[in-house]
Structure 1
Amino acid sequence: MMETDFIVSLMIMYEDESVDVRYSNGSQLQLSSCGGEFLLVKATDPTGHPLQARERVRQRTRFTISTYKELMVAALAFRNKYASRPYLPEELIPAEHKKSFCSIDSDIMWPEFSSCEAELGPGGETIIRSEDGQAALMLSASGEEFSIEFPCRLSQTQNRQRSVECFSRDPDGRPGRQQHPGEMYQSTAVVQHHSCFAYAPTWCYPLSLARHNWMTRVCKLTDVGAEGLCNSALTDKKMNMSDASSEKRRSCLPQALALTCPSPHRHRWKSKDQDLPTELMKVMWCQGVTYRILSGAVSVIEVSPGDGSVIRSNGVLNTYFSHHRPELHSGQVKEISYHLNSLPPDGVGQAYSICSIVNRANRILTCYDQAKQSLNLPATPSCLQEAKEGRGFSKPSMLEENLSSPAPGEHHMNLTHRIEHRSDLVAAELEKIKLFNFLLENSQLQRSERGCVEQRGCSEVEETNESVNESSIAEALRRTSKAIQDIDSLVSAATST
C-alpha cells in the first residue's frame, strides 16, 4: 500500500493527549499520549480472505520506516499544536527547521506595557513579541483564540532531559541561563493553539497585552456612544498593567518530552471489536474545521472554521451558538447568534456550510456530555501523568474558575474582557440564574425521585410528584428572587458611583 493512499479524513486528540487518525482508505493510526509510539491498523485487503485479520504495524515513532514517515510528521504536527508539551524527535524534524544554539533558557520575558508595540498581521491578527524577539503571541482578529510560537529544544533521552532541566534553573529554583562552551543544542519552532476561554496561566500577561491592543483598535471603530465606556475600560487596564513586575512578565516555555517514554506499559490501543474510547475527546479536526471541547461545570464546544472566525456554544443554552466573525475591511467583529432550529441556509460561493458545522458541533457536544456521564470509573493513568505531575503543570485557566477566583491586575484578562461594564455584570448574574435552573432541572435528587415514582402505584405517583414539584418550585422562586434583589442592589450601587 503506497503512502499516497493515506488521505486524512479525521483527527482526534483525547484528554490524555493521545491521537487517533482516520484515513479515507479505512486505515487507522493511533499515537500514544507521549507521542513516542504508534500503532497503524491498515485497511482490509479487498483481494484477501474475508476472515483475514487486518495488518497491524507497531513501531517507535522516531524509528518509523520511510513509508510511514509523512504520516507520523502530520500526526505529530496535530498533536504538538494542542498538547501541553510537544514531542520533537530529531529524526522527524526537517533540517531546514532546525537551529543550533549554545545556551539553555526555558523562560522568556515579555515587554513592559509602556514599551509594547503590537504588530498587525495580514489576517487582522494582533502580534506581541517577547523582548528577545524569539517568541510571539498572535491573537486572532476575532479576539477569541490565540496561538503561541516559540523555540523549543528537541527531545532528548530521559537522563539527558532531566540534567538539562536541572541546569536551566538557579540553585534557588528560579529560572536561569547556563552556558556550556563547546556544546551545541538543536531547537525548532513550535506553534501551539489556545482558546481565550481556556489557556495555561503562563500566557496570562502576554495575552493581556494583545487583548489591550486589540480592544484599542476595535474601540476606535465603534460608535460614539460606546467610545466613552471603551476609553474608561482601557484607562483602567493601563493603570493595572503599567505596574507589572518582572515575574508577571516572565513565561515558562513548554519543554519537549523525552525521547523514551517513562511508562510504556501504559500505552493503550483500541482493539477491532472495542472502538469506544475510554478517554474524553479534547480536539477534533474534520474537513478543515477544528472542534475544541472546553470542559467545565457546563461543557462548551468551540469551532474554528479556518477563516479567523470562532463559533461557540452558549453554555447552558446549548441550542444557541454565537459566531464571532471579523471583518477585515472594517476591522470590526460581528457577533451573530444561531439557533439549531433556524440555521441560515447555504449560499452560493460560501467557504463553508454554517448549517453543517453547527449541527456537527451540536452532535459532538451531545456525545461528549453522554460519554462524560457514562465514564464514572476513574480513568487509567496515562504515560504522561507522571511527567506532568513532576513538572508541576497547572490546570488551564477557565472562565468558570475566573468567576469564583478573582485576582488583581490583568491576571484574569479573559474575564475582565467579558465583564467590563454594568450591563455585563447584570448579564453575568442572569447566567448564574440560568445555571441554577439547569442544575435544578437535572439534579440527581429529582432523577432518583422520578425513578422511585415509576415503581409505585398511580395514586402514589400523583402525590409524590406534587410534593416534589411544590418544594422545587418554592426553592427556585426563593433563590431567583434573591438573585434579582442582588442585581437591583448592584445596579443601584453602580449608578450612584
Structure 2
Amino acid sequence: METRAAVSTMVMYEDESLEVHYVDGAQLQLSPCGCEFLLLKAAESRTHSRQAMGRVRQRTRFTISEYKELLVAALAFRNKYASQPYLPEELISAESKKPFFRIDSNVYWPDWSLSEAELGPGGEIIVRSKGGEATLMLASSGEDFSVEFMCNLSQNQSYRDTYGSSGGLKGDQTEHTPNGGKELTQSMSCSSTNICTQPKMYQSTTVVQHHSCYTVPSMWVYPLSLARYYWTAHVSDAEDGAETTSKAHKPDISSEARRSLLPQALPLTCPSPHLHRWKFKDPLATDEDSDLPTDLLKVMWCQGIIYRILNGTDPVIEVSPGDESVIRSNAVLNGYFTHYKYDLRRKKRKEVTYHVSSLPPDVLGQVYLVSSTVTRASRLIAGYIQALQLLKFSVMPSCLQKERHFFKPVVCEEKPSHAVIDEQDVNVKQTADWRSDLVAAELEKMKRFNILMEYSQLQGSREKELAELEGTPTDATEDQLDEKCIAEALQRTSKAIQDIDAIISAASMI
C-alpha cells in the first residue's frame, strides 16, 4: 500500500476512536486507546486471493514499516484532540525523544502579579509555566487555545503501577524544582550493600493539544484565565487607547491553585481489548444529504478545516478554518453562527453573524469558502443532535470509559473563574453519572419488557373475547399459560433488579 496516501477526512468520535479515510478508498480505524488499528485496503490493492477482504488488524506499536507512516499521522491527529495521548516509543522519531530520569506531572504557573505573558506577532497571547514544561497559547480571536507540554512515553501497566504516571517511584515526595523536566535529576539510588547505581533513564516527548475556550479541561483553567486576562487588556488597550493592563485588578491566587496536573500518556497495552469495536460503514457518504456520521462525533478534519462538537446542555459546533479565526453555532438557535476573527491591522476583534439561509457568497481565491463551511457545520450539528436523541444509552462502554481515563471538561463563562476545579470532585461526579447511566439503562430494559408483556396480555384478551363472540371453545390450558407467563415475567423482573444491585455495588467500589 502506498504510505503517502492522501487523506480525505479524519473523524474522531466521542469514545475517542478514530477513522481516517483516504482518497484511494482505503480506511484506517484506531481503537479509543490507540493500542490497536484496523486497515481496510483500497480495492485495487487487494492482489492476493487470501486478502479478498483487504483487512489488516495489528497492534499499533508493532505495525510493519508499510503502514508506519499512516499510523504516525493518525496518532498525531488523535493525540491533538484526545483527553490523553498514546505515545509508543516505536512510532516516535529519535529527534522527538528527550531523555529524563523523572518528570513531575505537576507544573506551577506564574502568579498574576508576576506573570509576563508574551504577545505573539499575530495577536496571540503566550503563557509559560514556571519551569517551562508547559506552554499555553491563546489564539488572537480569544476563542480557542493550544497547549504544548512534556509527557513521558507510554509504558507497560507494571511500570505504571510501580512508578506511577510521572516516572518516579510511588510515594516519592520530591519537591518540584523550577526547571522541572528541563534538567535531569542526577540523583543516585543506593542498595543495602552501599553500592550506588545511577537510576534507569526514560524518555519523554512534546505533546501538542488544541482546545476550545467554550469547554476547558480543569488543568488548563488557571493558565487560560491568565492568558484571557492579558488578551482582554490587550484588546481594550487597542480600542480605548489606554494602558489598562496595569490598572486592572489582579486577584491573589494561592500557590496550590496555580498548580496543574498535566495529562499523562495511556499505557502501552489496553486492559480491555475485547471492547474494541470496528466500523465498516463510511461515515461520510458522497451524497450531500447522507454525509452525517452514525455515531456521536467529536472532531472532524475535512479539506483542512476542523469541525468540533462541544457537548453540553445545548450542543454547539465550532469550526477552525485555519486562519486563527473561529466560527461557532448558537447553543439554542443552531441556524445562527458567529464568526470571531482578529483584525491584525487595527488590533481589534471582529464578530460577524451568519444564518444558514442567508450566507455570504463565496469569493474566488479565498482560503476557505464561508458558505460551504457553515453549511457543512450546520448539517453536522443537526446530525449530532438527532443521533444524541436516538442513542440515549450506550450499548457497550469503550475501553477508555471502562478504565475511567476521561477528564471532565468545564464550560467557561465570558470571564473564566480563577479557581481551579478539583479533579477528584470531577471524578466522583463522573463516577456517579456513570452509575446513574447504567441504572437508567437497566430500568429502560425493564420498562420495555413490561410494555411487551402488557401488549401480549392485551392481545391474548382480545383473541379470547373474539373467540367467545364467535362461539369457538377456548383451550382449557390458556389460564395455565397466562400464569406461566406471569411467573416468567416476575422472574425476569427480579433478575433485572438483582443486576441493578450488582451494578451499584460494583460502581461503589471504584
Name the TM tier (shorter chain): 0.7 to 0.9
1:317 paired residue among 311, 315, 333 = 333
What is the CA distance between 1:74 and its match in structure 2? 0.4
* Paired residue type of 1:3: T
Q: TM-score, normalised by structure 1?
A: 0.74
2 CA distance for matches of 1:184 and 1:173? 19
| CA–CA distance in structure 2, aligned partners of residues 175 and 64 of structure 1 | 40
Task: State the SS of the aligned residue for 1:112.
Answer: coil
Aligned counterpart for 1:372 among listed residues 378, 383, 388: 388
Equivalent position to 2:222, from 205, 222, 225: 205
The CA deviation at 1:386 is: 3.6
Distance 1:176-1:51 versus aligned 2 partners, 3 A rule: closer
Aligned residues of 1:278 and 1:375 also touching (Cα < 8 A): no
**CA 1:132–1:176: 2 relative to 1, 3 Å:** closer
Where does residue 478 of structure 1 map in the other structure? none
Displacement after TM superposition at 1:271 (Å): 3.4
Task: State the alpha-carbon separation in 2 of the partners of residues 134 and 323 from structure 1.
Answer: 33
8 Å CA contact 1:299–1:369 kept in 2: the answer is: yes
Residue 264 of structure 1 aligns with which residue?
273
- Provide the C-alpha distance between the structure 2 equivalents of 1:88 and 1:262, rounded to a whole number of angstroms: 16
**Cα pair 1:21 1:28 within 8 Å, conserved:** yes
Secondary structure, in 3 states, of the residue corresponding to 1:384? helix
Contact kept in structure 2, 1:324 and 1:336, CA below 8 Å:
yes
Q: Counterparts of 1:174 and 1:16 in 2: how far apart (Å)? A: 36
Q: Is the 8 A contact 1:44 1:54 kept in 2?
A: no
8 Å Cα contact 1:16/1:279 also seen in 2: no
Deviation at 1:232, TM superposition (A): 10
Paired position in structure 1 for 2:26: 27
Aligned-partner residue type, residue 215 of structure 1: T
Q: Which moved more, 1:18-27 or 1:114-123?
A: 114-123
Distance 1:26 1:394 in 2: 34
CA distance in 2, matches of 1:80, 1:192: 7
SS across alignment from 2:298: strand
| 1:132-170 per-position Cα deviation (integer Å, ceiling 9, x unaligned) | 112100000000000110000011111102222177487
Residue equivalent to 1:159: 158
The one of 332, 336, 342 aligned to 2:348? 332
| Residues 1:128 and 1:56: Cα distance change in structure 2 (over 3 Å) | same
How far, CA to CA, are the matches of 2:404 and 2:351 in structure 1? 37
CA contact (8 A) 1:208 1:410 kept: no
Change (3 A) 1:46 1:409: closer
The Cα offsets for residues 158-215 of structure 1, whole Å up to 9 and x where unpaired, read as 1102222177487499986895643211000000110001111111110011001111
Name the CA shift for 1:124/1:51 in 2 (closer, same or farther; >3 Å): same
Shift of the 396–346 alpha-carbon distance from structure 1 to 2, 3 Å rule, reads: same
User: Measured at CA, do residues 47 and 394 of structure 1 come closer, stay the same or move farther in structure 2, by a change above 3 Å?
Assistant: closer
Q: Give the Cα–Cα distance (whole angstroms) in 1 for the partners of residues 247 and 353 of structure 2.
A: 27
Q: CA deviation at 1:52?
A: 8.6
Deviates more, 1:47-56 or 1:310-319: 47-56
Cα 1:378–1:144 change in 2 (3 A) is same
Instruction: Give the SS at the match of 1:104.
Output: coil
Question: Would you say the 8 A contact 1:293–1:302 is kept in 2?
Answer: yes
- Contact 1:128 1:137 survives alignment (8 Å): yes
Show the counterpart of 1:245. 254
Counterpart amino acid of residue 143 in structure 1: G
Q: How far apart in 1 are the matches of 2:169 and 2:310? A: 33
Structure 2 residue aligned with 1:235? 248
Match of 1:460 in 2: none
Whole-Å separation in 2 of the counterparts to 1:185 and 1:371: 44
Change (3 A) 1:57 1:407: closer
1:3 counterpart SS class = coil
Which of 183, 194, 199 is the matching residue for 1:182?
A: 199
- Residues 73-92 of structure 1: per-residue CA shift (max 9 Å, x gap): 00000000011110000111
- Specify the alignment match of 1:388 in structure 2: 404
Q: CA deviation at 1:345?
A: 0.8
Which residue number in structure 1 is paired with residue 264 of structure 2? 255
The match for 2:302 among 286, 292, 298 is 286
1:379 and 1:123 map into 2 onto residues whose CA distance is: 46
Contact kept? 2:233, 2:245, Cα under 8 Å? no
* Bigger shift: residues 255-264 or 373-382: 373-382
Shift of residue 45 of structure 1? 2.7
Shift of 1:377: 2.9
Who is 1:61 aligned against? 60
Aligned equivalent of 2:3: 3
What amino acid is the match of 2:410?
S
Question: Partner of 1:306 in structure 2?
Answer: 322
Structure 1 or 2, whichever has the larger Rg, is 2
Q: How does 1:77-116 map to 2 (within 5 A)?
A: 77-116=76-115
Residue 507 of structure 2: aligned partner: none
CA 1:212/1:383 → structure 2, altered by over 3 Å: closer, same or farther?
A: same
Q: Distance in 1 between matches of 2:226 and 2:83?
A: 22
SS of equivalent residue, structure 1 residue 317: coil
Partner of 2:17: 18
C-alpha separation in 1, matches of 2:169 and 2:176: 5
Instruction: Tell me how large the CA RMSD over aligned residues is.
Output: 3.0
Count of residues in correspondence between the two structures: 396
- Indicate the SS of the match to 1:45: helix
In 2, the alpha carbon distance for the partners of 1:124 and 1:163 equals 45
The C-alpha deviation readout for 1:400-432, integer Å capped at 9, x for no partner, is xx69xx9974559xxxxxxxxxxxxxxxxxxxx
Q: Secondary structure at the match of 2:335?
A: strand
1:395 CA displacement: 1.2
- Note the C-alpha offset of 1:382: 1.0
Matched position secondary structure for 2:248: helix
Structure 1 pair 247–121 and aligned structure 2 pair: CA distance change class (3 A): same
Summarize deviations over 1:420-453 as a string: whole Å, max 9, x none. xxxxxxxxxxxxxxxxxxxxxxxxxxxxxxxxxx
